[in-house]
Structure 1
């Protein structure tokens, strides 16, 4: 192998490792009362207008409002409080959970010393797998896209991700919000 090929392989492995360490974000589409009929030019975020919080954290709630508005304005939509063509409402479901993982405390590798006495260091025989409980939070970001003229839901998109560290929670919520916006904008472009 030449040096360039080895460098490309190394970069690929590092990239694959980085991707595998990120938790997945899944998007679910629900509650379509009417189909998307046209591209939208203006929008309003109802949470912002009526002072309704969608998240338990005031900081994350404010970040989501700003992020939604900036992302839609970057796509050419205009924020209009009086006569919007699209009404957006968001909320969340933040569900604390626990999971058990098993950790092997065998101080010896599975090779080497086992040649002389395979039962002495067998992790299944000695029951050396100790359960460890870890906590995480299952976060659902739920965004309703509403047609105000017909007062019906165009769609509800729910983004689901796991948060194991409160320091990264806002970052994961914003990534989930991005995926929801991308999904909705793709559906709007698909109808044109």
Structure 2
């Protein structure tokens, strides 16, 4: 039996200067145009650029470098952390309410605590949506998740990016 844990992705809306008033028809990703890297890994950074562009184009928006209505900028916080977990290890069964049994319980041995430390990464994907005409921030969306292995990091980043785009699209639709 394989037990896998999956962490949730939480989205936070921050820094709203102006409300979303209209649907946007064109956009630009400033990181792509300026060559600004938002992630420590260049591979993940390029994946996010491609993923953002394809997801917004799927919504009917056009990538326009010269006169976009919406400017998108992204960055990340990649914070390595450790979690310590302790387990009380007792090799003796609970049957009989711990009544002394000379074949099963040795009163001279003590319970041992096993503690282990696991490393994980608290990952934040931060995307700014800026209205080009007003030159003000529509919103900053921050997606937060935990990454336990380097192999799953790019998948978690793309899932977080999907949730951020979905949140933004819902905000645009609800403003109409």
Aligned position for 1:30: 14
Distance in 1 separating the partners of 2:73 and 2:111: 52
Which structure is higher in helix share? 1
- Given that residues 114 and 121 in structure 1 are in contact (C-alpha distance below 8 angstroms), is that contact kept between their aligned partners in structure 2? no
Distance in 2 separating the partners of 1:151 and 1:41: 16
Q: How far has the Cα of 1:115 moved from its partner?
A: 3.5
Aligned position for 1:172: 156
- More RCO (CA 8 Å, sep 6+): 2
Per-residue CA deviations over 1:40-63 (Å, capped at 9, x if unaligned) read: 011000000000000000000000
Partner SS, residue 68 of structure 1: helix
Distance in 2 separating the partners of 1:31 and 1:186: 17
Aligned position for 1:8: none
Aligned position for 2:141: 157
Aligned length in residues? 173
Change (3 A) 1:163 1:121: farther
Partner SS, residue 95 of structure 2: coil
Aligned position for 1:48: 32
Q: Structure 1 length as normaliser, TM-score?
A: 0.83
Change (3 A) 1:60 1:109: farther
CA RMSD of aligned residues (A): 2.4
Partner SS, residue 138 of structure 1: strand
The unaligned stretches of length 5 or more in structure 1 are 1-16
Correspondent of 1:109 among 65, 90, 93 = 93
Aligned position for 1:190: 174
Moved over 4 A (4+): none
